[in-house]
Chain A
């Protein structure tokens, strides 16, 4: 474990210094890498650790984004406070969805359907609400300044997004060694066995979805103040949910580094492919590349790239002790 921590410290140091050496365009790609790593990690808490598969996390992103933005535009509340309000809002919705799903024992694909349904309900609701800009979307007035969470250039966003990633890693690591995290993993593995050993399956699933939706919504606020334009299709569609879950799946579900590795691999590829193919007049091809990559990852790295790296590194580091 010590080796991993020293490696992470070095990596963090490099990332802290990186802006001195690269262009603003590259920094922008890193912002997205961090953003998707963070969102993937938030989703990972629920699906990777505790088990229930959510395909509706765009809902929490949207709730976080719209609440904090609306609070800022209509009431002048700084997004730095609004993001926590958005987080609480999303957590309440997440708990309501969790209550319906877990109380009535929806499992597997049925829970997936429930999350998709609520994701769509959220998108359609926003699409028809005038105060939220309905089909025109919501334009965020650019008012640069720290309090407004608006900045020129990518540099401040880079550090904020990096902070989000570090925050999410600490949360997940703290969970892993705690009672909650141990229980999450147990109920992911076998609910009946967990229940028989004294784990309140319903309660801990609720805790997992609460944490996950809350974290996702914080990311939503970041996204709103980075993109400056909110539209139900661009922040709340199913495609956004898929973007969120892709990186942890490829990197390694239920591991702290999976979402990070997945994002470092997938996000630049997606960005480069997007701009390259758009220039060539072949918009949308990057989605095909995405699909191919997902297939390749599932075929060659079942269990994620992180598991594969661990397998290679283990003989070098020696059998690691239970941590």
Chain B
């Protein structure tokens, strides 16, 4: 049984079909990438999966349960957590205070939550910033904080929305290493990513979206040679030149 399964998911805004008949499966332990040009519906898909938006039709199965209609906090309690493309730290709180909120999702006591918080902050490499206000963090650190908060909820499935955008190459490398470690510990990952190097390094399989539709799925190296994918990214002319 796949950990996450989408069956013909649709979402429209007025006349615009943001997500149209999207289906795919994600198995436990896997890292799946979602790519597509700007406006392809990637973030909308995340919002639909995690309950921030309601699907118009279709089903979202997570861990053997149809989670359509669940509120985001219920989705999180079930074991699926997402990060935001535009990071949303609790700016007036310290790194510790940020993460402890997330750790309380599963911890039974405050003490347990605090211990988990310290471990998680250490894992993402923010130990020295533990008592820094998150408003004083660089973008790279904020992205790590976003990740730390998500991990502290103890997810089975982690949805990452462009965590690598805006980072320096060194930061990207560190993040790849970190995400591999997280995956190694048993967390399944679904990521939207524009940083190709990161995507290629992490995911064995990618799904390509364009105008809300799934146009390709497969191994990253092959997908980028797909005619439809090249068309979507670079235009029809370029695609015909290639063939």
Known interface pairs A178-B110, A198-B153. Does A193 touch B84 (Cβ–Cβ under 8 Å)? Answer: yes
Binds B, one of A62-70, A133-141, A182-190, A213-221: A182-190
Residue from the set B77, B90, B92, B96 with the largest chain A CB neighbour count within 10 Å: B90
| Interface assignment of B44: CB less than 8 Å from any CB of chain A | no
Complexed CA–CA distance, A206 and B188 (Å): 34
A-B contact pairs, 23 of them (CB 8 A): A182-B100, A182-B101, A183-B101, A185-B97, A186-B90, A186-B93, A190-B88, A193-B84, A193-B88, A193-B89, A193-B149, A195-B52, A195-B72, A195-B76, A196-B73, A196-B81, A196-B82, A197-B76, A197-B149, A197-B153, A198-B104, A198-B105, A199-B101
| Interface assignment of B66: CB less than 8 Å from any CB of chain A | no
Contact assessment for A179 and B110 in the assembled complex, using a CB-CB cutoff below 8 Å: yes
Number of A residues near B (Cβ < 8 Å) is 23
B23 to chain A, nearest CB (A): 24
Contact assessment for A200 and B90 in the assembled complex, using a CB-CB cutoff below 8 Å: no
Contact assessment for B76 and A185 in the assembled complex, using a CB-CB cutoff below 8 Å: no
Residues of B in contact with A, size category:
20 to 34
Find chain A residues with CB under 8 A from B82 CB.
196
Q: Count of A-B contacts with CB under 8 A? A: 80
| Interface assignment of B210: CB less than 8 Å from any CB of chain A | no
Contact assessment for B96 and A193 in the assembled complex, using a CB-CB cutoff below 8 Å: no
Contact residues, A97-116 vs B (CB, 8 A): none
Complexed CA–CA distance, A190 and B91 (Å): 9
Find chain A residues with CB under 8 A from B76 CB.
195-198
| Interface assignment of B130: CB less than 8 Å from any CB of chain A | yes
Contact assessment for B52 and A192 in the assembled complex, using a CB-CB cutoff below 8 Å: yes
Complexed CA–CA distance, A196 and B88 (Å): 10
Contact assessment for A198 and B77 in the assembled complex, using a CB-CB cutoff below 8 Å: yes
Contact assessment for A196 and B84 in the assembled complex, using a CB-CB cutoff below 8 Å: yes
| Interface assignment of A194: CB less than 8 Å from any CB of chain B | yes
Contact assessment for A182 and B97 in the assembled complex, using a CB-CB cutoff below 8 Å: yes
Complexed CA–CA distance, A177 and B110 (Å): 8
Contact assessment for B104 and A183 in the assembled complex, using a CB-CB cutoff below 8 Å: yes
Known interface pairs A196-B81, A198-B105, A322-B130. Does A189 touch B93 (Cβ–Cβ under 8 Å)? Answer: yes
Chain B 114-133 against A: per-residue CB contact (8 Å), 1 yes, 0 no?
Answer: 00000000000000001100
Complexed CA–CA distance, A286 and B152 (Å): 52
| Interface assignment of A321: CB less than 8 Å from any CB of chain B | yes
Find chain A residues with CB under 8 A from B100 CB.
182
Find chain B residues with CB under 8 A from A254 CB.
92
Find chain B residues with CB under 8 A from A197 CB.
73, 76, 81, 101-102, 105, 149-150, 153
| Interface assignment of B50: CB less than 8 Å from any CB of chain A | yes
Complexed CA–CA distance, A179 and B128 (Å): 25
B118 to chain A, nearest CB (A): 10
Residue numbers of B with Cβ under 8 A of A are: 50, 52, 71-73, 76-77, 81-82, 84, 88-94, 96-97, 100-102, 104-105, 110, 113, 130-131, 149-150, 153
Contact assessment for A186 and B96 in the assembled complex, using a CB-CB cutoff below 8 Å: no
Of B73, B104, B113, B130, the residue contacting A195 (CB under 8 A) is B73
Of B88, B91, B110, the residue contacting A192 (CB under 8 A) is B88
Complexed CA–CA distance, A190 and B89 (Å): 8
Complexed CA–CA distance, A231 and B214 (Å): 67
Find chain B residues with CB under 8 A from A178 CB.
110
Residue numbers of A with Cβ under 8 A of B are: 177-179, 182-183, 185-186, 189-190, 192-201, 254, 319, 321-322
Complexed CA–CA distance, A196 and B77 (Å): 9
Complexed CA–CA distance, A183 and B90 (Å): 11
Find chain A residues with CB under 8 A from B71 CB.
195, 200
A177 closest partner in B (C-beta): B110
Contact assessment for A190 and B96 in the assembled complex, using a CB-CB cutoff below 8 Å: no
Find chain B residues with CB under 8 A from A193 CB.
84, 88-90, 149
- A-B pairs, top 4 by smallest CB distance, nearest first, are A189-B90, A198-B105, A198-B76, A193-B88
Known interface pairs A197-B149, A322-B94, A322-B131. Does A192 touch B84 (Cβ–Cβ under 8 Å)? Answer: yes
Find chain B residues with CB under 8 A from A322 CB.
94, 96-97, 130-131
B227 to chain A, nearest CB (A): 37
Find chain A residues with CB under 8 A from B77 CB.
198
Complexed CA–CA distance, A182 and B98 (Å): 9
B108 to chain A, nearest CB (A): 10
A191 closest partner in B (C-beta): B88
B159 closest partner in A (C-beta): A196
Contact assessment for B73 and A189 in the assembled complex, using a CB-CB cutoff below 8 Å: no
Residue from the set A189, A195, A197, A200 with the largest chain B CB neighbour count within 10 Å: A197
A240 to chain B, nearest CB (A): 29
Complexed CA–CA distance, A190 and B77 (Å): 18
B99 closest partner in A (C-beta): A197
Find chain A residues with CB under 8 A from B110 CB.
177-179
Find chain B residues with CB under 8 A from A194 CB.
90, 101
B116 to chain A, nearest CB (A): 13
Find chain B residues with CB under 8 A from A319 CB.
131
Find chain B residues with CB under 8 A from A185 CB.
90, 92-93, 97, 101
A181 to chain B, nearest CB (A): 10
